Amino acid sequence: MSLWKQKRIMSKAVGLAALALSAAVGTSASAEEAKTQYFPLATFRVGAYASSGIPVWAGEIDYFRYINEVEGGINGIKLVWDECETNWEVEKGVECYERVKAGKNGSPVPIFLPHGDPISKALTEKSVADKIPLVTIAYGRTEAIDGRVFPYSFPVVFSFWSEASSAVNFIAEKVGGKDKLKGLKIATVYHDSPYGKETQVPLAHLAKTYGFEDIQIPVPHPGNEQSAQWAKIRQLKPDWVFLRGWGVMTPVAIKTAAKVGFPVDHIIGGIWSGSEEDVRPAGAVGKGYLAVTPFPAGANFEIHQKLKKYILDKGLSDLKDPKSFGSVYYNSGVDEAIVAVEAIRTAQAHFGVRPINGEEAQWGLEHLDLSEKRLAEIGATGLQQPLKLSAKDHEGGGAGKVLQWDGEKWNVVSNGWVKSDRDLLLPLIYERAAAYAREKGITPRDATN
């Protein structure tokens, strides 16, 4: 068969699929009331990581419903959202982003939450072209803190570098000051992936500054067998272990540590090793395990009382399992929703009370100022740290709380928010951002606008 014929057949198939697809798209659009703010959600309710995803959307959707039901929207502009399933896969994530980016029924997309480190990386440049800010709380490219080079990427609140530095500073808090770090051995057991390696550079730098010994031990994906790694730990005898896992790796690490006799209260989990879903499967040996997180668990924050009264008790919650109310992942969803809503509010104050587009939301994010006072008004004191963003600083906070597992629930054991050494690390981050700009031929924005 000739190439020409093949092409013809192929194009027929394409045409047929196109027809079917466009018919499907057509039916999904229904009339919505005017003056609403569209907010698409990229979710992963199926796939390997679904168990950690489901409570996140619950927290997010519950807060959106609270804003709509109780506060009547953001200054009267109600939020509407729909879901697009990514399976936590890059290709599906890109497809979802392309599907929703044009907005819905005339309402533009203010912010896109990629929910997946690789997805956020694949969208870095596309989001600049489309002028839609990506908000990636506690994941995403660390260099994107430099908004002059990455105008539409917002790794707000807590980057991986801040995570590492906060963990080290918590150890300092425990041993009685940063000068006591000298001579300590801190081993990082990490998921051997780009995500897992993100903290190598900052830890090496911190080790040089404070004089502790930095040991790096990789665990291959998925991490369901770690005898070799923990045998090495037993041999090297580190004082502390910093555990940067993902998925099944965390409970296996806790169990294996118990087997080799490493004290569980000297293991500090990272952000993605610090949820109920991570430690519960480890069973009794998980009691005493620590974790550093920007999303402190707990259902006693003021906002939780309101959510319980107006959303959960009225049966409006998206939560399937009421036990997850106030869990780390649920609270991360609430946190993320607060940041998004407040950024839209900030943009509205500048551009007018109406649905906000991506470019305006980018301005709103860069001028976001979540002060203690504002957090108290929202009812998020203690849940969310004060956050002030600018073009030069897309992270803002950079502090985490350290939680300890008591066998039933997490308790905060650090002295409030543990700040990271951002002054020490920011120059390195800016250097990396500048290198990226050179490689890509980007002229950094003027930060004064």
Partner 1 sequence: MVLLAALAGIPLVANDYWLNAVLIPFLIMSLTALGLNLLMGYAGQASLGSGGFMSVGAYATYNLLLRLPELPLPVSLLLGGIISGLVGVVAGLPSLRIKGFYLVASTLATQFLLEWLFNQYGWFSNYSTSSSISAPRLAFLGHDLSSPAGRYLLTLATVVVVTAVAARLVRSQTGRTWMAIRDMDTAASVIGIPVSAGKLKAFFVSSLVIGIAGALWAFAYLGTVDARSFNLDRSFQVMFAIIIGGMGSVRGNFLGAAFMIFVPILLDHLGGGVFGGAVDPGQLENFQKALFGALIVWFLIKEPRGLAALLSRAWTRLASRINR
304 binds partner 1 (CB under 8 A): no
Among 198, 214, 336, 359, binds partner 1 (CB under 8 A): 198
| Contact set for partner 1, span 91-130 (CB under 8 A) | 91, 94-95, 97-99, 101-102, 117-118, 121-126, 129-130
Candidate ranges 3-11, 171-179, 244-252, 359-367; the one touching partner 1 (CB under 8 A): 3-11
Amino acid at 103: G
Q: Does 376 bind partner 1 (CB under 8 A)?
A: no
* Minimum distance, C-beta of residue 1 to partner 1, in the bound complex (Å): 7
**Omega cis (within 30) before 222:** yes
Contact (Cβ atoms closer than 8 angstroms) between residue 81 and residue 38:
yes
Are 307 and 66 spatial neighbours (Cβ–Cβ below 8 Å)?
yes
Q: Which is nearer to partner 1, 193 or 390 (CB)?
A: 193
Which residue type sits at 136? T
Among 35, 131, 180, 197, binds partner 1 (CB under 8 A): 197
Work out the number of other CB atoms within 10 angstroms of the CB of residue 320.
10
Q: How far is the CB of 219 from partner 1 (least distance, A)?
A: 13
143 binds partner 1 per the rule CB under 8 A: yes
Interaction mask 428-447, partner 1, x per CB under 8 A: ----x------xxx------
Report, in Å, the least distance between residue 167 CB and partner 1. 18
Residue in the block written with tokens 């990581």: 49
Q: What distance in Å separates the CA atoms of residue 246 and residue 226, rounded to the nearest whole number?
A: 14
Q: What whole-number distance in Å separates Cα of residue 399 and Cα of residue 421?
A: 9
x-marked contacts with partner 1 along 155-194 as a string, rule CB under 8 A: -------------------------------------xxx
Q: Where are the beta strands (DSSP E) in 95-227?
A: 134-135, 153-154, 185-191, 213-219
Cβ proximity to partner 1: between 125 and 302 the closer is 125
- Residues 215-254, interacting with partner 1 (CB under 8 A): 220
Angle, vertex CA 112, rays to CA 111 and CA 115, nearest 5: 140
User: Could you say whether residue 142 binds partner 1 (CB under 8 A)?
Assistant: yes
Q: Both tokens of residue 408?
A: 């039933």
Query: CB-wise, 140 or 396, nearer to partner 1?
Result: 140
Closer CB to partner 1, 175 or 442, in the complex: 442
Cβ distance 380 to 338 under 8 Å? yes
CB of residue 3 vs partner 1: minimum separation in angstroms? Answer: 5
- Please give the Cα distance from 159 to 420 (Å, whole number): 10
Q: Measured between alpha carbons, how far is 217 from 5 in angstroms, rounded to an integer? A: 56
| 358 vs 353: CA distance, rounded Å | 15
Which of 160-182 are b and which e, b meaning 16 or more Cβ less than 10 Å from the residue's Cβ? Answer: bbbbbbbbbbbbbebeeebeebe
Q: Which residues bind partner 1 (CB under 8 A)?
A: 1, 3-4, 6-11, 13-14, 17-18, 20-21, 24-25, 27-28, 43, 45-46, 50, 54, 82-85, 87, 90-91, 94-95, 97-99, 101-102, 117-118, 121-126, 129-130, 141-143, 192-195, 197-198, 201, 220, 432, 439-441
